[in-house]
Amino acid sequence: MPVNKTAPAIVIAIAGASASGKSWLTTKISQQLARETGSNQLAVMAEDAYYCDQAHVPVHLRPQTNYDHPSAFDHELLAHHLLELRAGRSIEMPQYDFCLHTRAPGTVTVTPARVILVEGILLLSSAALRPSFDLSIFVDAPPDICLLRRIRRDINERGRTLASVIEQYERTVRPSYFAFINPSREYADMIVANDEQNPINLDAITKKIHGLLAR
């Protein structure tokens, strides 16, 4: 489908529990849209990049932060950056070091694009962010599947131990899921199941996006 490069950007939120498959779905959507519209028409952003800077917090205390609570994120900065991209201006997206639990040096330049995909656990919990999205998708996966995926990811990619992953899951991840993440599904335009019995219908999602682009 041809894309009108001068039209306003379409911003799509992909939310859901930690390790529910948000990044996987974001990648699949971006790959399919890139084939259909051109990769230069896409930008991908992660809510994780907007974790608050904790450089002022002693390193040994940083693991005690509840990273699944809305206050852990700078949602105001993310909302501002989305407005800037809609206005046709590039932004400098912060970077986050999961091993040190704080912002990493440097930023990544994100240039304006026709379709902006944003993925994160608490995107739909933020009243400041929700008006930024033209389409909101909630990825739903069973908690036990999410936990297994989280264990593999955090140990292999983020330098965690099995004991630390389980301790954090029991202390903050599971309670915050029921307090903030799961209730935010009510703000989603689409809820998609992500498990072996319910494969995600990628075509239905991209068809919805093309409808927004055409409009």
pLDDT at 4 over 60: no
Phi, psi of 125 (to 5 degrees): -85, -15
CA distance 124 to 11: 13
CA distance 208 to 203: 9
Q: Mind listing the pLDDT tens digit for each residue in 177-207?
A: 999 999 999 999 999 987 766 667 888 899 9
Give the start-to-end residue ranges of the domains of the chain.
10-214
Handedness of CA 68, 121, 106, 84 (dihedral sign): negative
Q: Mind listing the pLDDT tens digit for each residue in 11-27?
A: 999 999 998 989 999 99
The pair of three-digit structure tokens given for residue 125, joined into one six-digit string:
């919990």
Bridge partner list, 115: 10, 42
Position 3 scores a pLDDT of 42
Q: Give the strand pairing for 102-110 and 91-97.
A: antiparallel
At 214, the amino acid letter reads A
Cβ neighbours around 203 below 10 Å, total:
9
Instruction: Assign 116 to helix, strand or coil.
Output: strand
Bridge partner list, 193: 140
pLDDT at 2 over 50: no
pLDDT at 5 over 70: no
CA distances from 80 to 5, 34, 76, 179 (A): 22, 26, 6, 26
Is the separation of the CB atoms in 20 and 146 below 8 Å?
A: yes
Phi, psi of 64 (to 5 degrees): -80, -10
Is the separation of the CB atoms in 206 and 37 below 8 Å?
A: no
Q: Mind listing the pLDDT tens digit for each residue in 68-121?
A: 999 999 999 999 999 999 999 999 999 999 889 999 999 999 999 999 999 999
| pTM (2 d.p.) | 0.88
Q: Mind listing the pLDDT tens digit for each residue in 31-77?
A: 999 988 877 889 999 999 999 999 999 999 998 999 999 999 999 99
The pair of three-digit structure tokens given for residue 8, joined into one six-digit string:
């306003």
At 36, the amino acid letter reads E
CATH T-level assignment (fold) for domain 10-214: Rossmann fold (3.40.50)
Bridge partner list, 198: 195
The pair of three-digit structure tokens given for residue 99, joined into one six-digit string:
């091993």
Position 1 scores a pLDDT of 36
